[in-house]
Amino acid sequence: MFQEADQSYDARSVKDSRVQPWRQWWPPESSSFHDKAQDVILDISHDPPWMTWRFDSARPWEKPWIHWPLNWSSAYYGHAHVEPEVIHDVGFIQKCLDVQSPHPISDFKPFRTTSIVQTFQSRPGHKQEKPYAFRVPVSKTCDLQSNFDGKWSPIMLTDVRGHEELFSLDKDGFEWLNHTSSLKILEPSFDVCSYMQEMSTFLRQHFGVQEVYIYDYVRRSHDQTDRKAGYSDVTRRIHCDQTPRSAIGRIKLHMGERADRLLKSRCRIISVWRPLVPEIEGYPLTACTFTSTKSSDMVPIDVVYPHYAEESYEIHHSLLHQWFYKSRMTPQDLMLIKLFDNKLEDDTAFYAPHGSWRDPNARKDAPARRSIELRFKVYTSDQASYYMTAMEDTGTLATLMRAEIFKTMDFSRVFLMRAGSNFDRGHLMNEVASLPFVFDRIGFAAPACRNLYLSGVNIIEGILGQWTSHFESGVEPSNYVGDILESLGGTPDFGPPATVKSN
């Protein structure tokens, strides 16, 4: 029953030959099995039993363990359990600004504050032993739940509210989106399975892909009384859930024979985080920009669950790290964090350190923070992507109209070829004239360029081959930017009527 992440490596993986102490006692031998209605109930019997658990292959996101006979130790999550006082430290803010690289958000004079988070602290023995975290209660056969230490470290945090468009998954490793769920997510009867289906549809549209795969979810609260309702504690420990080795192993584990083909195209693992309270106050989520970290800041550790072993990153503290959060997040706010990306380019983020923090500016009696996090695999196939014609028309015409408004393009020398793309995300502003020329912010740069290449090579070759005989003398146009009367299919809403009529 016990499985382990495939020993897979890419160019960013670090091969590690150090001793892994946890292998001395895990996995234990199974003493009994019970099969019933496709469920497997396993009682691992020592004295006393370690646990009882059930795994349903049709619901891979469900945590399989259903009963812990043993008490948990605080050795892992409580590395630095005596929390120092958290204050808003103006002097520390200036200290960070003095050493950090300038960020574009500084031009807007955003609110900044300070807090503390748990970061990695090594031990002398780590030269021979690989750090690990054992997510199983300690017993007679295992006295150490982990073999590394944590420490409270100060950080400066910048509020992005009003400037969310400055951040993106590929550049920073995280971004914020607006999305209103059709479900009653604030009610105790909130159906997680229905929420997964809803978010799967949303993410397919958002990323312009045909396939997403949910492999995990967790609900968190810092109110201890929520534990009986299935909420885990908030994570004050800064971390990255996956290393490249572990992520590739998970893809191979979940996707089976399809994995090798999928890995030849782009594969991403994304965490989608949403508040489950009217407003987040006390323990917001923060993330660190990929560009402000170094590979030496990242510490691969083994993470051992009852049924699975993988690898994640712990983080060394650095004043150079740039931390961002969005204040007063509501259930209409989503935060997306990249956990893995197999796109091997130096400027493409493939992780973002993240965790929760206590806001010194929050009310003392602020309601408990509750949130839900889904973890998705996002697969981009090696085929061209196709989307609704109306979406393509709107995105194409809006961009061309803006180019005409600002006189940045000579349309007498333009050959316009339309190809399928993902015009499936709302524009940042309502007016066409204010649409930015940063194409990926309205969703169509990557697939549009890909599709234009896939469909356009033969056209360009044909033009060059017939240049002298046909194209050199010119070709009469058959469509115009200003023609909005159904010539592109339907009657689209291209923007405010005043903008359309005046241009």
Is the residue at 8 inside a domain? Answer: yes
Q: Is the peptide bond before 48 cis (omega within 30 degrees of 0)?
A: yes
Rounded Cα distance, 226 and 367, in Å: 12
Helix (H/G/I), strand (E/B), else coil: 177: strand
**Number of domains present in the structure of the chain:** 2
Both 256 and 398 in one domain: the answer is: no
Both 272 and 402 in one domain: the answer is: no
> Given pLDDT bands bounded at 50, 70 and 90, which one contains residue 57?
low
13-42: burial string, b at 16+ Cβ within 10 Å, e else: beeeeeebbbeebbbbeeeeeeeeeeeeeb
Rounded Cα distance, 259 and 478, in Å: 45
Both 467 and 425 in one domain: the answer is: yes
What is the reported pTM?
A: 0.72
Tokens of 337: 């964090």
Average pLDDT over residues 284-298: 96
Which of these three, 361, 380, 399, is where a domain ends? 380
Rounded Cα distance, 36 and 118, in Å: 43
**pLDDT of res. 489:** 43
**pLDDT of res. 319:** 98
Average pLDDT over residues 399-404: 73
Is the residue at 288 inside a domain? Answer: yes
Average pLDDT over residues 212-237: 87
Q: Report pLDDT digits (tens) over 101-122.
A: 999 999 999 999 999 999 999 9
Both 430 and 359 in one domain: the answer is: no
Both 197 and 308 in one domain: the answer is: yes
Which of these three, 362, 380, 398, is where a domain ends? 380
Q: Report pLDDT digits (tens) over 433-447.
A: 433 333 333 344 555
Which of these three, 380, 397, 420, is where a domain ends? 380
Both 308 and 184 in one domain: the answer is: yes
Domain range for residue 399? 389-502
Both 468 and 403 in one domain: the answer is: yes
CATH of the domain at 196: 2.60.120
The lowest-confidence range among 117-126, 315-324, 492-501 is 492-501
**pLDDT of res. 59:** 59
Q: Report pLDDT digits (tens) over 131-188.
A: 998 877 655 445 577 889 999 999 999 999 999 999 999 999 999 999 999 999 998 8
Average pLDDT over residues 330-350: 92
